[in-house]
A and B are shown apart, each in its own frame.
Chain A
């Protein structure tokens, strides 16, 4: 015998959709700028029919069962796309919670026996709760994807190589210097050395929060690569607390030219290129 609730829900598809839409549109936070009401409706219709048509006696208590693949797929794509479009968790949550309200409302109208109504409501409630949890997990994963992509983009754009003087390049590094970042830094730097024919590169690490042994190893590697290109590399922006920490860690930077500030590194670079910066003699000008 078919479960009573299933029979009702399949028969009342249309009424459920109307009531679900009504609940969704009730939410004052719903933003039409992100999705038109028509799109929302067709998305809801698709999900509802996937749910009711696949619902049977065997899977009503198991949201993960094979029969619900289609439902899970639709929910996953809905929550991923909502995450990327900038929907809030509240809006996404309301989408699925209002479906529960609509389903329970229909059951209440159709089932007269209170005992039966209670049993069926609990079953449907549990099923939708389980879908809700998956929806939130997928939504969060969608948000994380967005963040990771932004991180990659920031890595790309935040390693500019600046030509500060004829023959002198400067590369300010801001943020964590992980392996991926070092690769980008090194490639940019080496390429720019070739392009500009520069002979000195200044790597400024004032914006690096911590210099641990891996960061140090990356710095040493970058310096070696620069030297292989026939250029000299100066590391600047080593704050006193970082210098102390690096020494305690046991890292040997004695083979590397280090300066505390970018200005003093530039001064060293000028000396190496036998350039002299002098102040104009003001008294001779009048």
Chain B
């Protein structure tokens, strides 16, 4: 797999999500991703950025355009240094929330993307990586 383009953006306020979402959309359009998949990755990104803001007071996101040769896609890596998640299987359950919100951010995101990976260490932080293939 090769990385065709890589950008790092910092998200510490709600308004920082807007330029990030716009860049993401630009890249999705550029690789020819369809409207439905664009909307899915943008919505997933919005969930993960919100989590980072809400639970970890912000963090960094890496936006990459990747290619396997046969298929192009977008990989997003959200990295924060927040409190971490003690019980990941629990956090991945539909409806589980420590903030009285819908509890659909993590499980919903997993359904919206092609590949999903979460790593977290209590007291250290959380890293969520997602890939959406152009036709995935």
Q: Mark A229-260, 1 if CB is under 8 A from B, else 0.
A: 00000000000111011001111000000000
Interface check A217, CB cutoff 8 A: yes
- Return chain B residues, CB-CB under 8 Å to A249: 43, 47, 104, 108-109, 111-112
- Return chain B residues, CB-CB under 8 Å to A217: 101-102
A209 interface neighbour in B14, B42, B102, Cβ under 8 Å: B42
Determine how close the nearest CB of chain B comes to the CB of A129; give it in whole angstroms.
25
- Return chain A residues, CB-CB under 8 Å to B101: 213-214, 217
Interface check B94, CB cutoff 8 A: yes
Asked if residues A248 and B14 are in contact (CB atoms below 8 Å), the reply is no
Determine how close the nearest CB of chain A comes to the CB of B34; give it in whole angstroms.
9
A213 interface neighbour in B17, B40, B102, Cβ under 8 Å: B102
Interface check A39, CB cutoff 8 A: no
- Return chain A residues, CB-CB under 8 Å to B105: 212-213
- Interface centre among A211, A216, A240, A241, by most B CB within 10 Å? A241
Determine how close the nearest CB of chain B comes to the CB of A216; give it in whole angstroms.
7
Determine how close the nearest CB of chain B comes to the CB of A258; give it in whole angstroms.
16
Determine how close the nearest CB of chain B comes to the CB of A208; give it in whole angstroms.
11
Range class of the B interface residue count: 20 to 34
Asked if residues B108 and A214 are in contact (CB atoms below 8 Å), the reply is no
Say what secondary structure dominates the interface of chain A: helix
Closest residue of chain B to A180 (Cβ to Cβ) is: B14
Interface check A109, CB cutoff 8 A: no
B107 interface neighbour in A211, A241, A250, Cβ under 8 Å: A250
Asked if residues B47 and A245 are in contact (CB atoms below 8 Å), the reply is no
Determine how close the nearest CB of chain A comes to the CB of B64; give it in whole angstroms.
20
Tell me, in angstroms, the Cα distance from A216 to B101 when the chains sit together. Answer: 10
- Return chain B residues, CB-CB under 8 Å to A245: 36, 39-40, 43, 112
Also in contact, A251 and B36, with CB within 8 A (given A210-B42, A212-B47)? no
Tell me, in angstroms, the Cα distance from A241 to B101 when the chains sit together. Answer: 24
Interface check A148, CB cutoff 8 A: yes
Asked if residues A210 and B46 are in contact (CB atoms below 8 Å), the reply is yes
Extra contacts, 6 of them, besides A210-B39, A217-B101, A250-B94 (Cβ < 8 A), are: A210-B43, A213-B102, A214-B50, A245-B43, A248-B112, A249-B111
Q: Jot down 23 A-B pairs with beta carbons below 8 A, ordered by A.
A: A151-B15, A176-B18, A209-B21, A210-B42, A210-B43, A212-B105, A213-B47, A213-B101, A213-B108, A216-B102, A217-B101, A217-B102, A241-B38, A244-B39, A245-B39, A245-B40, A245-B112, A248-B108, A248-B111, A249-B47, A249-B104, A249-B108, A251-B104
